[in-house]
Amino acid sequence: MHFTKLLRRWARALAPAMLAAALAGCATTHPTMVDATTEPDPNDGLVALRLVNTSGSIKLRELKVRSLTTGQEISLLAQQFGQTQTATFLGRLPAGRYQPTSLVGTENLMAEVTVPLDKAGDPFEVQARRVTDLRTLVFVPLIETDTRVDSKRPNWREWQTSFLISSHPTPVAVDALLKARLPKMAATMLAQPPLVGTIGTADKAALHQAVRRTRAAVNSRFVNDHLSMSGGPLGVVEIYDIKAGRRERIHMDTAHAIQAFEVLADGRLLVGGESGFLALNDPKRQTITPIQLLSPGDIVLLLQQASDGRVYLVADRESKVAVYRADPRSLTDWTLVRELPTEHSNESPAFDTRMFVLRDWRLPNFAEASNERLVVHTPPKQLHSMDLRTGQWETTTTQRAFRHGFKITPDGFIAGMWGPGWIATSNDYGRTWNRMSTWINATQPHFIDKQRGWVQVHSVGLMGSDKQHMQISQDGGQTWTQGPFTTPEKVSGGHTWLDPFWIDPTGKVMLRYSLGHYLETSTDGGAKWEIR
């Protein structure tokens, strides 16, 4: 490639990062920003909009509104509260009437994307020292296919210009959200704010239409050696039967993301997610029964049935992690087992240049389970485990925090990353740790037992990630050997070390979600991949 063309490509790639850095420098002084220390002017009101983004590659960072009085266009920046998959556009505006105009973001951290809201955005009113709840906006990209290349792949040019915007009310009141995540501001400003505005009037039919177009899925786990499950936004749960090659999609009749799920011994499906959502599905997947247990500020991290039949639930809260237990015959009656304190570095939001979104920089909580123990990681560096047979708890300290979670094998081998490519493992539930091999760009490692592990590594050149291949360990991560290569021609490419990546207990079947959309599978250890 000519050197001038290379410089131009680098300039296009770096432009969003330079913009993000500029925004990071002024994030705390942005005229609409809201944080725990905000003291609005007497004529200011708060505006909040929850955004459910079903795109894995498009990051939406701004909501633009226009004053119907002055004609001025104002941007509200996205903020991430906790481990939720939704973003919240939360800002302060002078009292008056406004019209939403567009959402602005980036695709694959490079291409600028503008989504017009002419059809979905109804005018709304902001009242002084009150909250205008714009409810929930669901963003679903229209993925057009180009049969001249591959009928299963998106036409990227159409993807950048065609969108479906739907909206659906959420049962979470804005004041509850603010009190849970910004308590200082809520205590001084919020009393009983009326819901004075909405965006759109979508009904269940529109929500179901959005669900049909939603392809993103996260938090995958293997129920057994041939059945994989994953949860996603808009109450979507996907079950993939490896032997039959069949996928089943279940909608839990909610706009919330599903973060945790468990198939109980009697076949019932128990799921949980954002805003304290918890529901039970019958074995035939026909009846959904909501369970009232958690508050709107809670997020369900894990659901696990122990070998004795008892069911455990781990919920993320503002300053602690709560662990509950229930008898499977009475899942409406839960007992609080333990509350684990957490520490967060900063309540105030800051701009994350890597993800192009405002985050509150709180270190997240994570929970996993082996056959014999429930394991919870809380910041700054605490690992708690409970023996599921005796109920005894043990707490240890990690050398660094798991910022993006960890995985645990059925026989109790823990593996995660303390940073990009820094693999940390423990064979005794956190009492001792080993730091393993390092790569610049790789997925998190996936072990299926205490010996066998895989990691997907990307070769990095002048043009970014070029070739992808597997590194395989047979000795608990002490040494690694290179597996078969895969190339962007065989798979969709674009993977990073944060992408989900799983292997079944046989070590042959591999699953991953490409850019949060397409389920890719390999049945030969990664030599060949297919899009499902």
DSSP 467-511: EEEEEEESSTTSS-EEEEEE-TTTS-----TTS-EEE-TTSS-EE
Please report the pLDDT score of residue 322 as a whole number. 97
Q: Phi first, then psi: what are they for 290, rounded to 5°?
A: -65, 145
Comparing C-alpha atoms, which of 376, 424, 384, 367 is closest to residue 400?
424
Lowest model confidence (mean pLDDT) among 22-36, 131-145, 261-275, 347-361: 347-361
Contact 434, 422 (CB under 8 A): no
Q: How many CB atoms lie within 10 A of CB 217?
A: 25
Task: Tell me how far apart the alpha carbons of residues 318 and 297 are, in angstroms, rounded to a whole number.
Answer: 7
Task: Tell me how far apart the alpha carbons of residues 24 and 207 are, in angstroms, rounded to a whole number.
Answer: 35
Contact 120, 200 (CB under 8 A): yes
Strands (E), 108-195: 111-116, 124-126, 131-141, 145-146, 150-154, 163-167
Helix, strand, coil tally for the chain in percent (to 5) = 10, 45, 45
Contacts of 306 (CB under 8 A, 6+ apart): 312, 388, 389
Please report the pLDDT score of residue 305 as a whole number. 96
Q: Phi first, then psi: what are they for 188, rounded to 5°?
A: -95, -20
SS3 15: helix
Q: Which one-letter amino acid corresponds to residue 212? A: R
Q: What is the mean pLDDT of residues 241-255?
A: 84
Lowest model confidence (mean pLDDT) among 29-38, 260-269, 293-302, 312-321: 29-38
Please report the pLDDT score of residue 254 as a whole number. 83
- Which residue did the predictor score with more confidence, 133 or 258? 258
Task: Tell me how far apart the alpha carbons of residues 269 and 287 are, in angstroms, rounded to a whole number.
Answer: 10
* CA trace torsion 45, 104, 298, 359 (10° rounding): -90
Residue 528 has pLDDT above 50, yes or no: yes
Task: Tell me how far apart the alpha carbons of residues 59 and 68 are, in angstroms, rounded to a whole number.
Answer: 28
What percentage of the chain reaches a pLDDT higher than 90? 27
Contacts of 26 (CB under 8 A, 6+ apart): none
Residue 122 has pLDDT above 60, yes or no: yes
Please report the pLDDT score of residue 66 as a whole number. 93
Contact 319, 342 (CB under 8 A): yes
Tell me the per-residue pLDDT of 129-181, one tens digit each, with 9 for 90 and over: 888 878 778 888 775 544 444 444 455 455 556 677 776 666 666 776 676 66
Q: What is the mean pLDDT of residues 488-508?
A: 60
Tell me the per-residue pLDDT of 55-98, one tens digit each, with 9 for 90 and over: 767 888 899 999 999 999 999 988 766 556 778 888 889 999 99
Q: How many CB atoms lie within 10 A of CB 21?
A: 12
Q: What is the mean pLDDT of residues 278-304?
A: 90
Q: Phi first, then psi: what are they for 453, rounded to 5°?
A: -145, 155
> How many residues are recorded in the chain?
532
Work out the pLDDT band at 231, boundaries 50, 70, 90. confident
Helices (H), 49-140: none
Please report the pLDDT score of residue 196 as a whole number. 41
Q: β-strand 73-80 against 357-359: which pairing, if any?
A: parallel
Please report the pLDDT score of residue 531 as a whole number. 73
DSSP state of 442: B
Residue 391 has pLDDT above 90, yes or no: yes
Tell me the per-residue pLDDT of 179-197, one tens digit each, with 9 for 90 and over: 666 666 666 555 444 434 4
Task: Tell me how far apart the alpha carbons of residues 98 and 64 are, in angstroms, rounded to a whole number.
Answer: 10
- 245: left (phi > 0), else alpha (psi -120 to 50), else beta? left
Please report the pLDDT score of residue 450 as a whole number. 93
Task: Tell me how far apart the alpha carbons of residues 482 and 485 are, in angstroms, rounded to a whole number.
Answer: 8
Q: What is the mean pLDDT of residues 438-465?
A: 74
- Find which of 241-250, 286-295, 382-391 is predicted with most confidence, using mean pLDDT: 382-391
Please report the pLDDT score of residue 96 as a whole number. 94
Residue in the block written with tokens 């749960």: 237
Comparing C-alpha atoms, which of 238, 259, 241 is closest to residue 249?
238
pTM metric for this prediction: 0.81
Please report the pLDDT score of residue 461 as a whole number. 57
Please report the pLDDT score of residue 486 as a whole number. 59
Please report the pLDDT score of residue 186 as a whole number. 63
For Cα atoms 339, 342, 348, give the angle at the middle one, nearest 5 degrees: 135
Q: β-strand 163-167 against 218-222: which pairing, if any?
A: unpaired
SS3 11: helix
